[in-house]
Chains A and B, each alone.
Chain A
């Protein structure tokens, strides 16, 4: 137990890194998801095909592999580009934080695409028609009718994607990000208490995922408040 006290600081800062990666990756994945859904719902067959290929590839490929391709691939590409400009440059890579955030955003973005697409399709066309019949413009209909309804339908799955995203951040330790798994590895080499150290990591993740789950539950209740009380 006393071993832990010495490492509390490192764990704390590692957890901050995790939360930062989570936030960045989440924003990126939502943007990718919305773009992807728009492409899938559009009438352009090219857009449909690209988005379709994207979702299939990034939902079927192991997360670790995507991470490795992005990190090492970017390094190779950047180095090649840099060397063509300045041959003396030996090696350039992107920081693991950004490689990791981007890689995970690509993966979770594929799931988000499907969720947003399904949610948009689930908006009752009757509601949209009613809005038009009342005279609302396209944009107003989109903002005041489509988005709120789509959001409510997307929420449960969106919550699950957020949880996956959070748990995927642990993989970034493999490419060297100094977050809590990394801290545990360091702590283990010093204290030789791997079980304790990794259990702490698990418990930290458990706390974060619990908070996310509770937040999503509260949001779901809020989004569905107009439905409660009906028999």
Chain B
């Protein structure tokens, strides 16, 4: 049984055709997910039950169910509902691409919101007390003290989450999209060479993961200039 390296080399360019879609999914879902996460976080820490409850339910549902199922519910499931089919958003919601973006954003938003909450909880209580003692108001404390520190604390976990997001984009291939995994599956169906093709695809994903990790590592180092080296 041969491992056909030339096949690997040949198929990488073809798979890179899929990278455009992978990156679009990644960037859009991360951006929308981040916005959702911030809104959800603010709702979670607001202390008002009518804001906390929906946020908590949203997080609970999206962290407790598989992404694949979430994608299927949005892509296959929503068309069952009349008000969706006849609504203004229908042209968007029938596209597998947008269904994936929505699913990945909602999923990402739930996870990132918990990550940010962890960052917020990591801010030393004493520092916030000092700010209150100076007369700095609650919202000012959140913007000028809590947020910068919480963001720095969240970076490692956020970096991991972004890598998860890259991996999740592969699920788009289950709803007919030709992202990198989708292209890979097509090629394998033609060539019956699963090892070569899928390993080639995996290596591209690994390179992306590595780049993300390095990127966030640099960002974290920059933001940690003021932290004492122990």
Contacts and interface: CB of A to CB of B under 8 A. Distances in A.
B is a partner of A: yes
A174 B192 CA distance: 18
Contacts of B61: 202, 206
Contact of B64 (A62, A181, A209): A209
B153 interface: no
Contacts of A76: 1, 192-195
B198 A171 contact: no
A201 B69 CA distance: 7
Contacts of B195: 69, 73, 76
B67 A65 contact: no
Q: Which of B169, B181, B202, B209 has the most CB of A within 10 A?
A: B202
Contacts of A60: 163, 167, 205-206, 209-210
A115 B5 CA distance: 35
Interface string A119-158: 0000000000000000000000000000000000000000
Given A181-B68, A205-B65, A64 B174 contact: yes
A142 to B, nearest CB: 30
B167 A61 contact: yes
A42 interface: no
A195 B169 CA distance: 22
Given A73-B194, A195-B81, A205 B206 contact: no
27 contacts: A59-B163, A59-B209, A60-B206, A60-B209, A62-B170, A64-B171, A64-B173, A65-B198, A65-B205, A68-B188, A68-B198, A69-B202, A76-B194, A167-B67, A171-B68, A174-B174, A188-B76, A195-B80, A196-B77, A198-B69, A198-B72, A198-B73, A202-B70, A205-B65, A206-B60, A206-B64, A206-B65
B170 A64 contact: yes
Contacts of A56: 206
Contacts of B79: 194
B201 interface: yes
Contacts of B174: 64, 174
A176 B67 CA distance: 18
B100 to A, nearest CB: 13
Contacts of A73: 194-195, 198
B107 to A, nearest CB: 10
A170 interface: yes
Given A62-B171, A168-B66, A206-B60, 16 more contacts: A56-B206, A65-B202, A68-B181, A68-B198, A69-B198, A75-B194, A76-B193, A76-B194, A171-B68, A171-B171, A181-B72, A188-B76, A195-B73, A195-B76, A195-B80, A205-B66
